[in-house]
Structure 1
Amino acid sequence: MRALVLTGPGKAEVHEVEPPAAAPGEVVVDVERAGVCGTDVELFTGEMSYLHTGRSWYPLRPGHEWCGRVTALGDGVPAEWLGRRVTGDTMLSCRTCDRCRSGRHHVCGDMAEIGISRGRPGALAEQLAVPVTALHALPDTVDSTLGALVEPGGNALRAARGAGLRPGGRLLVLGTGTIGLLTALFARAGGAEVHLLGQDESTLRLARHLGFGHAWTRASLPRLPWDGVVDASNAPGLPALALDLVEPAGRVVYIGLAGTPSAIDTRDLVLKDVTAVGILGGSAGLDGAIAAYADGSVDARPLVAATVGLAETAGVLAGHRPADAGPGPKIHIDPRR
C-alpha cells in the first residue's frame, strides 16, 4: 500500500510499504480521510520536541486525525466492527496502570500515539491498524470531512468545557486556527457568548463567516469582563495575556503550544484566584464531538480549505496551500487519490 513516510527533517515521500495486519485485539481500517495537523508539520520540520527526547524518530509515518472503514479483524475483536465507519483515539495506553484505571489514559506513562510517537504508524496512508479499544463508531450523519475532524474536535470540546462557563457566560478565545475556531463553535453550541482574538483583520474573516460577530484584533479588543479565556495560539506571549484578561476567579485554558517557552506570573494567578487548565489530547471529548457533529449543533466543515491526494501531502507539510483552497485553516488528505 501507499503511505507517507518522513525520512528526516524536511524530507517526506510516498512509499510503497507492507499493508498492516490485524494483530489480536486490533482492526485494519481503510482510511477515507486524514487531516494535516500542526504536530505533523513539526514532525516534518524536525522541530517536534519528541524527536529530541527520543520519543519519536525517523523514519516516521504521521497522521492522527482520520476516519475510515474497518475491513479486517484480529483475533478477539467482535464481528460487529467489520464494515463499520470509525475514527479513533490517538492515545494508546497500557490500560493497566493507575492513570489508565482512573480514567486518565491520555497521560499514561507508557503511551504510544498513532502517527506521532514510539513508532506507531499513522493515518496518512491507505490503511491503518488500530486497537479495537481505541475505536469510536461514526453515525451516517457524520461524513468523511467531519469524521477526520473528530480528533481536533475532541481537543476543542475539552477546551470549551475546561472554561467552566454557565450558559450566557462570556468566553474569549485567543487564536483563529483550527483549534481556536473549533473551541468557539463548541462553546457557542453550549450557550456561551463567544469572542475571538486574531492577529489581524485577515485572520478574522472566517470567524465572521461562521457567525462570530465578536471577532477582534488586539487593538480593537473591548474592555469586557471575560469569564473564561482559552489560549489556542502558538504565540509565546499570549499565555500571560490570557491570565491578564480573565476575570478574578475565572478560568484560563491552555491548549496552544508555542515553539519557545512561555512565562506567566504565578502571583497574578494566585491573587486573582484564577483556575488554570491544561488540555492534552482529545480522548475524553471524542464522543461529545461525534454527537455534536451528528446532531448538527456544530458544523466544522467550513474549516477544511481543501482535500488533496497523498502525493500532495509533502507540499502541504512544507506550507504550500492548494491553488483552489478555501479560507479554512485545515487541509485534508484522501489517501485513495
Structure 2
Amino acid sequence: MKALVLTGPGRAEVQDVPEPAAEPGQVVVDVHRAGICGTDVEFLTGEMAYLHTGDAAYPMRIGHEWMGTVSAVGAGVDPSWIGQRVTGDTMLGCGACRRCARGRQHVCAHRLELGIRGGKAGALAEKVATTVGSLHRMPSAVDDAAGAMVEPGGNAFRAVQGAGLGSGDRCLVIGPGTIGLLSAMFARAAGAEVHLLAADERSAAFARSLGFDDVWTVERMPQLPWDAVIEASNAPHLPATAVELVEPGGRVVFIGLAGTPSLIDTRDLAVKDVTAVGVLSASPGLAGTIDAYADGVVDPRPLIAATVALDELPSILAGSRPEGAGPGPKIQVAL
C-alpha cells in the first residue's frame, strides 16, 4: 500500500510499504480521510520534542486525524466491526498501569501515540492498524470530512470543558487556528459570549466569516472582564498574557504548545485565585465531539481549506499551499 514516510528532517516521500495485519485485539481500517496538523509539520522540520527525547525517530509514518472503514479484525475481536465507519483514539495506553485503570490512558507513561510516539504507524496511508478498544463508531450524520476532524475537535471539546463555560460567561480564545476556532465553536454552543484574539487581520477575517463578530487584534482588543481564557496559540509569551487577562477567580486553559518554554508567574495565579487547566489530548472528548457533530451543534467542515491526494503531501508539508485552497487552516487527504 502507499503511505507517507518521513525519512529525516525536511524529507517526506510517499512509499510502497507492507499492508498492516490485524494482530490479536486489533483491527485494520481502510482510511478514507485524514488531516494534517502542526505536529506533523514539526516532525518534518525536526522540531518536534519527541524526536529529541527518544519517543520518536525517523523513519516514521505520521497521521493521527483520520476516519475510515474497518476491513479486517484480529483474534478476539468481534467480526461485526467489519464494515463499520470509525475513527480512533490517538493515545494507546498499556492497559495495565494505574493511570490506564483510572481511565487516563492518554497520560500512560508507556503509551503509544498513533502516528506520533513509539513507532506506531499513522493514518496518512491507505490502511492503518489500531486497537479495537480505541475505536469510536461514526454515525451516518457525520460525513468523512467531519469524521477526520473528530480528533482536533476532541481537544477543543476538552478545552471548553476545562474552561467551565456556560450561558452568560464571557470567554477569550487566543489563537484562531484549528484548535482555537473549534474551541470557539464549542464555547458558543455552550452559550458563552465568545471573543477571539488573532495575530493579524487575515486570520481575524476568517474567524469573522464563521459568525464570530468579536474578533480582535492586540491593538483593537477591548478591556473586558474575561471569565475564562483559552490559550490555543504557539507563541511562548501568550500563556502569561492569558493569566494577566483572566478575571480573578476565572479559569485559564492551556492547549497551545510553543516551540520554546513559556514562562508564567505562579504568583499571578495564586493572587488572582485562578484555576489553570492543561489539555494534552482529545481522548476523553472524542465521544462528546462525535455527538456534537452528529447533532449539528458544531460543524467543523468550514475549517477545511482543501482536500488533496496523498502524493501531494510532501510539498504541502514543506509549506506549499494547494491550488484553489480556501482560507481555512486545515488540509485533508482523501485516500
Shorter-chain TM-score: which interval?
over 0.9
- In 2, Cα distance between the equivalents of 1:156 and 1:141? 20
RMSD over aligned Cα, in angstroms?
0.6
Counterpart mapping for 1:72-221 below 5 A: 72-221=72-221
Residue equivalent to 2:267: 267
- In 2, Cα distance between the equivalents of 1:153 and 1:243? 24
Answering whether residue 49 of structure 2 is matched by residue 53 of structure 1, we say no
Q: Give per-residue Cα distances to partners, 1:228-254, cap 9 Å, x unaligned.
A: 000000001100000000000100000
Q: Give per-residue Cα distances to partners, 1:113-162, cap 9 Å, x unaligned.
A: 00001110000000000100000000001011100000000000000111
Following TM superposition, the consecutive aligned residue runs of length 4 or more in structure 1 with deviations greater than 3 angstroms are none
TM-score for both structures, normalised by structure 1: 0.99
SS in 2 for 1:173: strand
What amino acid is the match of 2:222? P
**Unmatched 5+ residue regions in structure 2?**
none
What amino acid is the match of 2:27? V
**Unmatched 5+ residue regions in structure 1?**
none
Residue equivalent to 1:286: 286
- In 1, Cα distance between the equivalents of 2:66 and 2:81? 17
- In 1, Cα distance between the equivalents of 2:214 and 2:72? 48
- In 2, Cα distance between the equivalents of 1:252 and 1:64? 26
Pairwise CA distance, 1:86: 0.2
- In 2, Cα distance between the equivalents of 1:316 and 1:104? 34
Residue equivalent to 1:329: 329
Aligned length: 335
Q: Give per-residue Cα distances to partners, 1:48-101, cap 9 Å, x unaligned.
A: 010011100000000000000000011111122110000000000011111111
SS in 1 for 2:165: coil
TM-score for both structures, normalised by structure 2: 0.99
Answering whether residue 276 of structure 2 is matched by residue 297 of structure 1, we say no
